[in-house]
Structure 1
Amino acid sequence: MRRRPKFLTSDCLFKIKDSNSIVNSMASTWEKIRDFYDWAVENGDKRTDPWFLVYSPIPIVVTFIIYLLICKYGPKYMLSREPFNLKYVLLVYNFALVAISAYIFWEIFFILRKKYNQITFLHVYHHGTMIFNWWAGVKYVPGGQSFFIGLLNSFVHIVMYLYYGIAAMGPHMQKYLWWKRYLTMLQLLQFFGIAVHTSYNLFTDCDFPDGFNLFVFIYIITIIILFSNFYYKTYIQKKTKKA
């Protein structure tokens, strides 16, 4: 009978077994992640899989991380620098977005102009999550019921970026921007419309996946809460304080 080496005490054996257990657990977890990733990329709508940035979530995740890094470290980078004059850049950008909504880069302009007060939790949460929402919508449930959200959102952004375009012309245009409050009301109306549309489809015979309906409903409620809070603080609380 072989004798156990003296240095292999019961404590040492326990630690070795524990280490092996951790390694096996990590390997199992990694395998599950790989299986989920494979399922996620292979079970999308085949019509949109060839589209740019649709097949895999990795480019979207990388974009999201870059977006957060810009929002966090951009103000620190600009701290000792003069704000950029981006008047004409913003004019072109905003009026282009009347037709094309690509607002993921809007924070970069805020940072370069040192408008940090506009980089709020609402702003980052809304823009940071929408990139994943639209990716999932285009990959898994394009067309059909999804058109309503896209149609409504596109219309609101036409109005919204028209406002930003006019604002970018300079302070002398402020007298034409009296309708900012109504723009926020239009955004809220959009969110309530989406909530009603989505909740209705949870109780009707609709082929659209209930899981997506439920997710959209819960998400849009969070947006309504945040935008309502913004509306209250911006248009009601400030007005009360001035009075």
Structure 2
Amino acid sequence: MTTIADARHLYQHIMENLSDPRTQNWFMVRSPAPILLSVGVYLYLVKMGPIWMKSRKAYDLKNTMIIYNICMVLLSLYMFYETLVAAWFNPDFSKACQPVDYSNNPQSLRIANVIWVYYISKLVEFLDTAFFVLRKKSNQITFLHVYHHASMPLWYWLGAKFVPGGESYLVVSLNSFIHIIMYTYYLLAAFGPSMQKYLWWKKYMTKLQLMQFAWFILHSVQVMYIGCGFPRAYMVCQFIFALSQLVLFMNFYLQTYRNQNEIKKAKTS
């Protein structure tokens, strides 16, 4: 019983004393239960969705996907703009190592807000997988796809709960920029085969994603080395998480484009 009581006391201490009081009552932030349940439901549907669709006709979601991708481009533009104003163009914000400002300073609240919006956007992105399931494109639901979509909301719940500011801005900023490009690509692709000739740049989009994760890794090392009051444990975890993403995306890049090059060589030989 003592062990259970100690664990409960530790949990309450972490949730109440180590979290940011500014975001405590924001939607989907107070407790880890809603986000854990959301990710659990997501993983269950990833498992069961293709089974349910096996005997059903694929849905035609062209118009839905066009609207969705437009919304995601606009949302990504908004988040990228907010990080530009609140961090990149803010002379008082250190680009080398910035601690979290837990005050109600307007710029600090602006960063906290965009970090929360980014966290919620990761839940919205579950629809990426839902569209694959409903369109019977289960071959695109890879381990990389599921790992990325399931882990990002969990990671940025931690950001919104404990460190909604400081160094947390970088992932939001760079990833939002990448998503502007990515969802623009998906938007064009949603219009059908007539747009294929304009989608030659997918390979370079993947390269940008790899550069993004490399930047996260190097910047995490820099922050851990410099030290500015931002939680080192969070940066260590970010380093490991970004490294796992880099390895998986690199494997995807090599498997996809190496195979394409081999097919081209086989056709010309």
What TM-score bracket applies, with the shorter chain setting the length? 0.7 to 0.9
Deviation of 1:35 (Å): 2.9
CA deviation vs aligned residue, 1:134-181 (integer Å, no higher than 9, x gap): 000111111111111111111111111010111111111111111000
Per the alignment, do residues 72 and 28 of structure 1 end up closer, same or farther by CA in structure 2, a change over 3 Å counting?
Answer: farther
CA deviation vs aligned residue, 1:85-136 (integer Å, no higher than 9, x gap): 0000000001100022431221111100000011000011111011110000
Alignment of 1:1-243 (within 5 A): 27-42=1-16, 43-100=18-75, 101=121, 102-243=124-265
Deviation of 1:66 (Å): 0.5
User: Could you tell me how far apart the structure 2 residues matched to 1:40 and 1:223 are?
Assistant: 27
**Unaligned 5+ runs, structure 2:** 76-120
**Equivalent position amino acid for 1:230 in 2:** F
| SS of residue matched to 2:226 | coil
State the identity as a percent: 45
**Unaligned 5+ runs, structure 1:** 1-26
Deviation of 1:205 (Å): 2.8
Q: How many residues align?
A: 217
**Structure label with greater radius of gyration:** 1
User: Could you tell me how far apart the structure 1 residues matched to 2:257 and 2:60 are?
Assistant: 29
Deviation of 1:241 (Å): 3.9
170-179 vs 28-37, greater mean Cα deviation: 28-37
**Equivalent position amino acid for 1:107 in 2:** T
The structure whose RCO (Cα within 8 Å, separation 6+) is larger is 2
103-112 vs 113-122, greater mean Cα deviation: 103-112
| SS of residue matched to 1:114 | coil
User: Could you tell me how far apart the structure 2 residues matched to 1:32 and 1:175 are?
Assistant: 61
Question: Over aligned residues, Cα RMSD in angstroms?
Answer: 1.3
User: Could you tell me how far apart the structure 2 residues matched to 1:176 and 1:32 are?
Assistant: 59
Q: TM-score, normalised by structure 1?
A: 0.86
Deviation of 1:31 (Å): 3.3
**Equivalent position amino acid for 2:41 in 1:** I
Structure 1: 4+ residue segments shifted above 4 A: none
User: Could you tell me how far apart the structure 2 residues matched to 1:237 and 1:31 are?
Assistant: 55
Deviation of 1:242 (Å): 3.5
| SS of residue matched to 1:97 | helix
39-48 vs 226-235, greater mean Cα deviation: 39-48
User: Could you tell me how far apart the structure 1 residues matched to 2:203 and 2:256 are?
Assistant: 9
User: Could you tell me how far apart the structure 1 residues matched to 2:45 and 2:217 are?
Assistant: 31
Q: TM-score, normalised by structure 2?
A: 0.78
